[in-house]
Amino acid sequence: MSNFSNIGFRVETEEGFPLLLEKAWRQSQSIKVPEGSYAVYRDASGAELWLQFNHKNECIGANPHYKGKSSRKVCLTETINRPESQLDGSFHGWAEPETKNDPDSGVYPFVFDLPDFKTIGTIAFPRDYNIQLTAFALEITLYDSEQEYDQQPGGEPKFAAQSFIPSGLFAATAGGEQGQPQAVGIFTGIIKEVERKRNAMTQDEYYWMLVDTLGGEVDVVADVALLEKEPVNGGVVQGQFWLSGQLINPPARDDKAPVNFLRKLFGR
């Protein structure tokens, strides 16, 4: 199980992964950026694959995403470039700010990765944006109701039914030095909608849930093999998740504008 299988791109063998990417590429839309290009496959179920290519047209990476229903306001504070690929990247921000463009008025900080990071134009931080956020299940537990969740056995304290811990901000290297913050969170939330999806390309099934948690809505996706029971509306979901998001109305990049202006001005 993986972030890919959480949206129905299940690969059983090492050889199967490049075959999956090739199949997705043949049905993809190309998006060029100065650092290379993305090839995005959009499945009818809402699942997405974002393939990354350098200027030699070599595939250098691939990220899954799910285009869901969630919308939440976040005050973005900085960008994070990822060493894994020149087309990867993340934002740090604060959830649900009460005051415009004021991160300190948010309820908690967190980090989320973006599949289309290099398509986004310049942002003057701090700045509020609405984002669509998808949580890919790493560990997940389901409860049929808030009452069942509240009545769990055990004397230890537990999280509220709507809570969020930005665990990725506590990432550290094995040597104890502070590492890059990761797009990971531990949260508990109420299930507002749920659907068993079927990936149109692979025919593999997965679950999608729209979840209300502290800080706003989040789309949750999970491989059916991860779940011990069926999720239900009004139930509670708890777990650890990788966070992938997109700005709903991002500023577009316009890298060629200054060059074109100079060419017009100086004739070269």
Residue 176's pLDDT band, with cuts at 50, 70 and 90, is very low
Secondary structure of the chain: what % helix, strand, coil (to 5)? 15, 45, 40
Q: What is the pLDDT of residue 178?
A: 63
Q: How far is CA 53 from CA 11, 31, 56, 250, 254, in A?
A: 21, 10, 8, 22, 20
Say which residue the tokens 């998006």 belong to.
31
Query: Taking 60 as the threshold, does the pLDDT of residue 262 lie above it?
Result: no
Mean pLDDT of 87-100: 98
Averaged confidence pLDDT in the chain:
91
Residue 155's pLDDT band, with cuts at 50, 70 and 90, is low
User: Which candidate, 235, 245, 195, places its Cα nearest to that of 215?
Assistant: 245
Taking the C-alpha atoms of residue 150 and residue 140, their distance in angstroms, rounded to an integer, is: 17
Q: What is the pLDDT of residue 136?
A: 98
Mean pLDDT of 51-74: 97
Residue 265's pLDDT band, with cuts at 50, 70 and 90, is very low
Residue 234's pLDDT band, with cuts at 50, 70 and 90, is very high
Query: Taking 70 as the threshold, does the pLDDT of residue 102 lie above it?
Result: yes
Q: What is the pLDDT of residue 267?
A: 38
User: Which candidate, 149, 103, 115, 118, places its Cα nearest to that of 34?
Assistant: 118
Query: Taking 80 as the threshold, does the pLDDT of residue 1 lie above it?
Result: no
Q: Is the dihedral of CA 31, 33, 37, 40 positive or negative?
A: negative
The residues with which 237 forms a beta bridge, in sequence order, are 142, 189
Mean pLDDT of 93-110: 98
Q: What is the pLDDT of residue 2?
A: 87
Integer distance in angstroms from the first to the last C-alpha of the chain? 54
Q: What is the pLDDT of residue 77?
A: 98
Which of these ranges, 25-29, 72-76, 153-157, has the smallest mean pLDDT?
A: 153-157
List pLDDT tens digits, range 105-124: 999 999 999 999 999 999 99
List pLDDT tens digits, range 180-195: 899 999 999 999 999 9
Query: Global pTM?
Result: 0.92
Q: What is the pLDDT of residue 173?
A: 45
Query: Taking 90 as the threshold, does the pLDDT of residue 257 lie above it?
Result: no
Residue 258's pLDDT band, with cuts at 50, 70 and 90, is very low
